[in-house]
């Protein structure tokens, strides 16, 4: 598998976790696991996702509660954005964006896809493409670096607790009703606070998994009532049991586990 990333730095690190590259000629299946982030990708070749076929181009993959399986024999370059940045990219219409979308049709910015695509047509090394990805990110953010700080605090409140919290506690801290919180999250992120919390709770469970530890102990450590509750939630979200998930594509899931661990350990926090 050829999948690598470079951490975002400087002012863009408030919005972006990393820039990444996937070589489909080495391993044609890329699985983006639900991890509370969203991606903008530059596809150098046609690709498929489920029964849909997509031509090469620029696409937005929103925050999802299900794995996204992409099949391609070409190169993919991506920008992985932090959840609260969705508001900056698409405005308060995140709840209307489903699955994979052409970037030009959903972005608030004026994106010239052919010109951007041309910048990715030669060298494949990620380091050489970083500037082009940064320029795309600047364009998508419209050179405006203001965040909705209330939304950011609410999202980070969930992340800091690795999803193990009561939504009522978040509402009390934020001074907002459950209905108001849910509506704002759906409009701004495309996912509810409860679903985002479960996503990160399952991510935490995944990062704790090892061959030597029992699933029961790991489930309890991640904040689940018991092993059955955890495994059912895992299968419903990730569509495989924990063991089968790791066995199905060990390199890819090692990368996912590493990035999830980095997220919980504040590796992707903004550069000061």
Cα 122 to Cα 72, 129, 271, distances in angstroms: 18, 10, 30
- The SS3 call for residue 16 is strand
pTM of the model: 0.94
Does the pLDDT of residue 213 top 70, yes or no? no
Q: Give the range among 16-30, 49-63, 104-118, 153-167 with minimum mean pLDDT.
A: 104-118
Q: Who contacts 217 (Cβ-Cβ below 8 Å, separation ≥6)? A: none
Distance of CA 158 to the CA centre of its chain: 15
Q: What does CATH list as the number for 149-264?
A: 1.10.10.60
The per-residue pLDDT for 225 is 86
d(CA 6, CA 9) in angstroms, rounded, equals 9
Confidence of residue 1 (pLDDT cuts 50, 70, 90): low
May I ask the CATH class of domain 3-140? mainly beta
The per-residue pLDDT for 217 is 87
d(CA 3, CA 1) in angstroms, rounded, equals 6
**Mean pLDDT value across the chain:** 90
The per-residue pLDDT for 272 is 65
Neighbours of 249 (CB within 10 A): 16
The per-residue pLDDT for 59 is 96
d(CA 148, CA 118) in angstroms, rounded, equals 33
Q: Which residues pair with 78 in a beta bridge?
A: 20, 41
Express each pLDDT in 86-124 by its tens digit.
999 999 999 999 889 999 999 988 877 777 888 887 777
Q: Which tokens is 192 given?
A: 């509810």
Cα 267 to Cα 75, 131, 177, 271, distances in angstroms: 26, 21, 32, 10
Q: For the residues of 183-213, what is the DSSP string, one character each? A: HHHHHHHSS-HHHHHHHHHHHHHHHH--SSS
Domain boundaries, the chain: 3-140, 149-264
The per-residue pLDDT for 118 is 82
């Amino acid at each position: 598998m050829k999948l690598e990333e470079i951490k975002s730095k400087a002012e863009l690190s408030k919005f972006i976790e990393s820039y990444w590259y996937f070589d489909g000629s080495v391993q044609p299946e890329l699985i983006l696991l639900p991890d509370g982030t969203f991606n903008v990708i530059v596809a150098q070749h046609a690709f498929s996702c489920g029964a849909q076929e997509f031509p090469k181009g620029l696409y937005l993959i929103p925050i999802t509660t299900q794995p996204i399986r992409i099949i391609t024999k070409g190169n993919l370059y991506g920008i992985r954005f932090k959840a609260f940045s969705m508001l900056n990219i698409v405005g308060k219409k995140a709840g209307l964006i489903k699955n994979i979308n052409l970037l030009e049709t959903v972005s608030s910015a004026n994106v010239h896809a052919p010109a951007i695509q041309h910048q990715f047509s030669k060298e494949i090394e990620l380091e050489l493409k970083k500037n082009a990805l940064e320029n795309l990110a600047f364009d998508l953010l419209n050179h405006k670096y203001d965040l909705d700080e209330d939304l950011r605090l609410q999202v980070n409140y969930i992340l800091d607790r690795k999803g193990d919290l009561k939504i009522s506690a978040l509402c009390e801290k934020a001074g907002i009703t459950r209905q108001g919180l849910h509506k704002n999250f759906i409009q701004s992120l495309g996912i509810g606070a409860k679903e985002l919390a479960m996503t990160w709770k399952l991510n935490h469970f995944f990062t704790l998994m090892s061959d030597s530890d029992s699933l029961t102990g790991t489930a309890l450590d991640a904040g689940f009532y018991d092993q059955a509750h955890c495994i059912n939630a895992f299968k419903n979200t990730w569509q495989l049991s924990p063991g089968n998930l790791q066995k199905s594509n060990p390199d890819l899931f090692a990368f996912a586990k590493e990035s999830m661990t980095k997220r919980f350990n504040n590796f992707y926090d903004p550069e000061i």
